[in-house]
Amino acid sequence: MINLAGRDILHDGPKFVLTGLGLGLLIGVTLSMAGVYRGMIADGRALLDNSGAELWVVQQETLGPYAEPSSLYDDVYRSVLTVPGVSQAANVTYLTMQVRSDREDVRAMVVGMAPGPAGTPGWPPYLVSGRQVTRSHYEAVADIATGFRLGDRIGIRRHEYTVVGLTRRMVSSGGDPMVFIPLKDAQGAQFLRDNDAVLQGRRRTAQNPAFNRAGAPAVLDAVIASQNVSRSVNAVLVTLKPGVDQADVAKAIERWKRFTVYTRAQMEAILVGKLIATAAKQIGMFLVILAIVSAAIVAFIIYTMTLGKIREIAVLKLIGTRNRTIAGMIMQQAIALGVIGFVVGKIAATFWAPFFPKYVLLMPRDSLIGFFVVMVICVLASLIAIRAALGVDPAEAIGG
């Protein structure tokens, strides 16, 4: 049997392929949009994975450390370590700030990691180049998305750091690349004010008669000294001994140590459900509109393609071709168009994904769903075209 669809495509090859390419780019945009959405969630998950923690101990009644500011004293981890079931507890600070380098300023999330051996919670879990921090001050490990190179001197607040290692995919939930520095430096960067502010603070304190007392000159020095100490961290990252139930330990810490504790699942719910919810919905809405627009365009293309050869269809009907054959031809063409479009779209999306400033994650499952949706849309669109084709009067073949 002659394949009418194939014949027709061969007859009008370039036009068909070009239409498929155009459709493919549209599908590519839709897939990328889904990738952007998945990328946002993946960024959130990466943040949690990379922290290496199973429990997050934060200030009471806060959603910290990612979704809300949280502040704990930096010796809290010692009391957390005493809770049965806790294997490791490490302080951590997070602060999104501007990081200077010779070339450009980069917006980055600066992570203060507690001293310890490699593999301590809060440390970058893998590197792509260089080494982990070995000194307790003024060394940094940066995400390659910052554009820093090994040996670069970068400035964070009032200190300079040497980049000794590079890592990858370490981002905040907002997609800012991370820079890891030793905890004490990060505490300084986060809680100490700039020199001018310190100076003004001293002046204000000196003018306060309650502190600057004639009979007790040492009081002023003591007050000023106490103003410039930072003993705070944002959270304590906790890992558990094997076989210990997360919820039990979380409950014990909440009950006896009076902090708020989140498990991995709760943290993910906060990040995905609260922190990036609006942005994700925004993308989701755009994705829906794009899908509808794509469907409409596929329908129009197939419809106009069919109308373009209405005369040939009339001839087919005139020579007594069965309706089923005609319908099959149109549907096969629609599906072929969909397949070409999907393949081109997938390839295009894959190639342009790395150029997005934020992470775009193209999930195979999304592609599969996309493929079936494209097929369904093509079939539905071809039904309208088939209706138009079957309704044609064979007399048109010989008419004007």
Using CB under 8 A as the binding rule, whether residue 17 contacts other proteins is answered as yes
Residue type, 264: R
Which one among 15, 103, 204, 231 touches other proteins, defined by CB under 8 A?
231
Using CB under 8 A as the binding rule, whether residue 329 contacts other proteins is answered as no
Eight-class DSSP state of 194: P
Using CB under 8 A as the binding rule, whether residue 199 contacts other proteins is answered as no
Q: How far apart are CA 192 and CA 143, in angstroms?
A: 25
Q: Is-contact 148 106, C-beta < 8 A? A: yes
Q: How far apart are CA 360 and CA 316, in angstroms?
A: 48
Q: Cα 389–394–398 angle (5° rounding)? A: 125
Per CB under 8 A, the segment of 111-119, 198-206, 321-329, 387-395 that binds other proteins is: 111-119
- Residue 240 to residues 55, 89, 249, 298: CA-CA distances in angstroms? 8, 9, 8, 53
Per CB under 8 A, the segment of 8-16, 200-208, 325-333, 379-387 that binds other proteins is: 8-16
Which one among 215, 320, 357, 399 touches other proteins, defined by CB under 8 A?
215
* Nearest distance from C-beta of residue 392 to other proteins, angstroms: 26
Q: How far apart are CA 87 and CA 242, in angstroms?
A: 9
Binding characters for other proteins, 359-378, by CB under 8 A (x = yes)? --xxxx--x-----------
Residue whose CB is less far from other proteins, 41 or 384: 41
* Nearest distance from C-beta of residue 114 to other proteins, angstroms: 9
Number of residues that bind other proteins (CB under 8 A): 57
Using CB under 8 A as the binding rule, whether residue 84 contacts other proteins is answered as no
Residue whose CB is less far from other proteins, 299 or 370: 370
Q: How many helices (H) and strands (E) does the chain have?
A: 12, 12
Q: How far apart are CA 298 and CA 77, in angstroms?
A: 59
Report the largest interatomic distance among the alpha carbons of the chain, rounded to a whole angstrom: 117
Residue type, 328: G
Eight-class DSSP state of 242: T
Residues that bind other proteins (CB under 8 A): 9-10, 13, 17, 49-50, 52, 75, 87-88, 115-120, 125-132, 134-138, 144, 149-150, 164-166, 168-169, 184, 215, 217, 231, 239, 241-242, 340, 343-344, 346-347, 350-351, 353, 361-364, 367
